[in-house]
A and B are shown apart, each in its own frame.
Chain A
Amino acid sequence: MSRRDDLFAYLLLEHPRSLRGVQEARDVDPERFDRVADRFLGWAEAARGADYLSACADAMVRFSNDVILAQARYEATGAYEHSSFDHCNDEVYGKREVMDDYLWGVFLTNFCWAHHMEISAFYEDRFLARLPASPAMVEIAPGHGGWGVWAMHTRADASLQGFDISPSSIAIASSVAQAAGVSDRVTYTQRNALDLSAMPEGIADAVICSFLIEHLEQPDDLMAVIGRLLKPGGWAFVTGALTAAQVDHIYEFRRESELVLMAEKHGLRVCETLSVSPKRILPKAKFLPRSMALLCQRTTHGFW
């Protein structure tokens, strides 16, 4: 049995309520799901050892349920529960026991949530396919490290520097890179993304910054950092969540154009976008949770 078959068998037994969503994710693109799932689960096994399947699947189910619960409470109140970055840093990013579980959960959602499977396809087909020769890459808030390690696995000529505020991220992303056999080309450093404005300008051929922007009180400052780090003509893969609650989402984006305008303001040309939502949402929902991906290029002229 493949690892993805093991995952389905485990969910059927232990988490039957969560099975349907993962089946929907596979239906999006079965060939890609099988390839991505087997690869990610293989890295998880090498990084975590024999109990990887139950540990990661349980974490994914917990994380997904937390997200649905946060969304239901947001539906009732009309606002995200928290608005302070320091609160999230203290209660989530900085707490090993909370954050380790959270990050392994998120790691699996890249292919276990149907709409995030679509983002994975966008990442692979639109972003990875465009990387130049020997790309020097920066990943801001790698979390579990899956996105960047995927790039390193695909492109043996690439190198990557990752920066995350959470000690859990540094440990887990490093273990995933090691598992994938790419650790000689990556470094992970614990650092606040907004402090990267102190780095030299134009050092990156490509930047990955996935699902960080909605975690910040001043998202605009992050877009400025991305624009600044990129070389002219360099590519950025940026994702963000809109009207989608989570324990540590503090900036509520409501419209896709907000992200586009923010990117444009900081010297990026938005070449392609994808905005996706879950196949099923809460009954009578007022808010449609969306995940948006942007493929941006650092401008070389006035407007392009």
Chain B
Amino acid sequence: MADTLNRLTEVFHDVFDDDDIVLTRQTTASDIEAWDSLMHVTLMLQVEAAFGVRFSSSDVTGLKDVGQLVDLIDAKAGR
């Protein structure tokens, strides 16, 4: 779980081109200025590549915060 959050943080740094982003399970789109729907999909595809998982469109739309994303990745990756 902590592992997933760490790797996810790297993906966020890469996608948003910002190494200062600090993720917690509570982080939402309101905390990261550039996190709009377009960047969200970009992020999700990067997450797919980084973790070897695939998301459905309802996965993509339903996520409310980073905690839910971590849980989804762990569930999909069978962790």
Q: Quick one: which of B18-50 are within 8 Å of A by CB?
A: 28-30, 35-42, 44-45
Given the complex, which residues of B lie within 8 Å of A281, measured CB to CB?
38
> What's the dominant secondary structure at chain B's contact region?
helix
CB distance from B28 to the nearest CB of A (A): 7
Cα–Cα, bound, A20→B29 (Å): 12
Cα–Cα, bound, A21→B58 (Å): 20
Q: A17, B42: Cβ atoms under 8 Å?
A: no
- Could you mark each residue 72-88 of chain A with 1 if its beta carbon is under 8 Å from any beta carbon of chain B, else 0? 10001000000000000
Across the two chains, which residue of chain A brings its CB closest to B33? A20
Across the two chains, which residue of chain A brings its CB closest to B49? A76
Q: A68, B38: Cβ atoms under 8 Å?
A: yes
Known contacts A16-B30, A69-B60; A21/B41 CB under 8 A: no
Given the complex, which residues of B lie within 8 Å of A17, measured CB to CB?
29, 35-37, 39-40
Q: A16, B38: Cβ atoms under 8 Å?
A: no
Given the complex, which residues of A lie within 8 Å of B61, measured CB to CB?
61-62, 65-66
CB distance from A92 to the nearest CB of B (A): 13
Q: B37, A64: Cβ atoms under 8 Å?
A: yes
Q: A21, B57: Cβ atoms under 8 Å?
A: no
By size class, the interface of chain B is 10 to 19
Across the two chains, which residue of chain B brings its CB closest to A14? B64
Q: Of B30, B41, B57, which is within 8 A of A282 by CB?
A: B41
Q: A72, B29: Cβ atoms under 8 Å?
A: no
Q: A65, B36: Cβ atoms under 8 Å?
A: no
CB distance from B27 to the nearest CB of A (A): 12
Q: Does A18 contact B (CB under 8 A)?
A: yes
CB distance from B67 to the nearest CB of A (A): 16
Q: A72, B37: Cβ atoms under 8 Å?
A: no
Q: Does A280 contact B (CB under 8 A)?
A: yes
Across the two chains, which residue of chain B brings its CB closest to A247? B57
Q: B57, A280: Cβ atoms under 8 Å?
A: no
- Could you mark each residue 43-81 of chain A with 1 if its beta carbon is under 8 Å from any beta carbon of chain B, else 0? 000000000000000000110111011001000100000
Given the complex, which residues of B lie within 8 Å of A200, measured CB to CB?
none
Known contacts A61-B61, A280-B38; A72/B30 CB under 8 A: no
* B residues neighboring A (CB under 8 Å): 28-30, 35-42, 44-45, 57-58, 60-61
14 residue pairs from A and B, CB less than 8 Å apart: A16-B29, A17-B35, A17-B39, A17-B40, A21-B37, A62-B57, A62-B61, A65-B40, A65-B61, A68-B37, A68-B40, A72-B45, A281-B38, A282-B38
